Amino acid sequence: MCIATIWMYRAYVMRLQDKVAIITGAGSGIGKATALLFACEGAKVAVVDCDAAGGERTVVEIERQGRVALFVRADISKETDAQRLVNETAKAFGDIDVLVNNAAIFVLKGFDATVAEWQQSLAVNVIGTVLVTKYVVDSMKKRGGAVVNLASISSWIAQNNIFAYSATKAAILQLTRNMAMDLAHWAIRVNCVCPGSIMTPALERYMQERGMTLEQLNADEGAKTLLKRIGQPHEVARAILFLACDEASYITGTHLMVDGGYTAI
């Protein structure tokens, strides 16, 4: 079979056919876009979120496509919830092949963050990521798998007055490297995606809190990128899909910037 024929064939093969995927924070934004894309690519998707209404809407959209999904309401900062969401997914769909650690909270503060806000930021963004991964890998060890963490450009660069958030994203970057080392023996790949400014509910709240219009936000944040615009959730979802599927079979312990060139400037 010639190379051209191979690629024509591959174009019609769903990249996650018969795979089981857990996506946290899938009730909106990047998580929702990823859940919809994974379902289109043949995965059975566990939509995990603490927001029941958002999570259930994502499942409805997936089912309208004729695909399969399950909603699990969970607070990933609680170990009992982390273990339960994995158990419910495995009971419904079988062994887990892909985990996307997307759930996060956005404490966009610096020295003005309270101790309670610091604890919440660390509990969800860092400890929650570890807890869910801990319980998923027991299932993955049987046949390998892929974990994709959501870090950020904030893992890499200094930004004004948001280190209660950026410190947690820097931690995700290092967790990714260490997890990749610890799990390689079982053929479990661990990578992370680092989005820039993406039009998600979190960015919309940021815009509203500062009294900005969408045009002002685009002019302000878009100007910081080479592409001169804010990104969309589906653009991050495609990067997550690549790292989750077999096309990235020799990639682990690294990061992929999805920032429109923000960090290249």
Question: Is position 135 annotated as part of the catalytic site?
Answer: no
What does the DSSP assignment read for the chain? --HHHHHHHHTTS-TTTT-EEEEETTTSHHHHHHHHHHHHTT-EEEEEES-HHHHHHHHHHHHHTT--EEEEE--TTSHHHHHHHHHHHHHHH-S--EEEE--------STT--HHHHHHHHIIIIIIHHHHHHHHHHHHTTT-EEEEEE--GGGTS--TT-HHHHHHHHHHHHHHHHHHHHHGGGTEEEEEEEE-SB-SHHHHHHHHHTT--HHHHHHHHHTTSSS-S-B-HHHHHHHHHHHHSGGGTT--S-EEEESTTGGG-
Kind of pairing, strands 44-49 and 145-150?
unpaired
Q: Pick the catalytic residue from 9, 165, 206, 262.
A: 165
Residues designated catalytic: 165
